[in-house]
Amino acid sequence: MSFSAQTKRELCRTSAGQKGLAQAEAYGVLLYSNSFSPSVIRIITECEAFAQWLPTLFYKAFKLRFDQQPEQGAVGKQTFLLTQPEKIETVCEAYGLDLSGQVAHHVNFAALEDEARRIAFFRGAFLAGGSVTAPEKRYHLELTTPHFNVSREVGTLMQEAGFEPKSTTRKSNYILYFKQSEAIEDFLTAIGAPVAAMEIMNAKLEKNLRSSVNRRVNCDAANLDKTVDASMAQAEAIRRLEKTVGLDSLPDKLQEAARLRLEHPELALTQLAALCDPPVTKSCLNHRLRKLVALSQP
């Protein structure tokens, strides 16, 4: 099951509550559905949970049943139809709409007069025309409608509710979308899908942890490469000195540094400095080794 389907299944467990909230949620469904006209209301979905929830929602909102709906247990695309004029009229009256003389759909803001109804409306819009990408892949949530004015006006509603969606078009559809994980988390939590929001948070934490570990590993590997390169260069310089002037000719402290580097080529400076007698600082040992390298130069 896709992450979108999981999220919608979680939303469908949320009761629409009183009739007003059910109507607000159904309004979101209608404006983000396939067809909402004086002759037909057509809602098509591939989400099984939404298909099971839709008849209950419309009965709560309007006390009516669909004229046509999928058989029990149907899979794939499922179509719900309202074709009887009196039923469509009942739906329109709930929102103060007169579709017969309407050229393009608009959002009737009076039908969404309080925050609770607006949130219910957003939930219905997401159920009918929304999708959210699995957070392991990327962060993306969108609402798609065939109505330009609806998309623009819903964008305004979202801004008033504290959300900041971006907009675009795809073919003949109009889209509001979020690409920031925090915005998606906030939106899903608001409309009633806190579990999905938490999954996004967890995925983000896992990504950040993995990225941090990778950076640390890469940094440690780079430091190890530097340590190995420096150690090899120092050991080569010390061997040149041994062949040319002999290590016995060097001061005692340089002799000790040379002997320790040849005996422990794998150790970092801090570890090597601790083996000196008495132990010295990393900076002190580094100075002695640099002196050995300089002395080895022709």
pLDDT, position 102:
67
> How confident is the model at residue 264, as a pLDDT?
85
pLDDT of 27 reads: 95
Local structure of 142: helix, strand or coil: strand
**Which residues are CB-contacts of 25 (< 8 A; sequence separation ≥ 6)?**
16, 57, 61, 120, 121, 123, 124, 127
* pTM (predicted TM-score): 0.71
**Rg, Å, the chain Cα set:** 34
Q: Distance (Å, rounded) from C-alpha 5 to C-alpha 182?
A: 20
Amino acid at 57: L
pLDDT at 189: 94
Burial class of residue 185 in the structure, from the number of CB atoms within 10 Å of its CB (0-12 exposed, 13-18 middle, 19+ buried): buried
Write down the pLDDT at residue 101.
66
Looking at residue 221, what is its pLDDT?
66
Give pLDDT tens digits along the chain (298 positions).
899 999 999 999 876 678 899 999 999 999 999 888 888 999 999 999 999 999 999 999 999 999 998 877 777 889 999 999 999 999 998 988 877 766 678 899 988 989 999 999 999 999 999 999 999 899 999 999 999 999 999 999 999 999 999 999 998 899 999 999 999 999 999 999 999 999 998 888 887 777 666 677 667 667 666 777 778 888 888 888 888 888 888 888 888 888 888 888 878 888 888 988 888 898 998 888 888 888 888 7
Amino acid identity at 27: Y
Instruction: Quote the pLDDT of residue 240.
Output: 86
| Distance between CA atoms of residues 79 and 280, nearest Å | 80
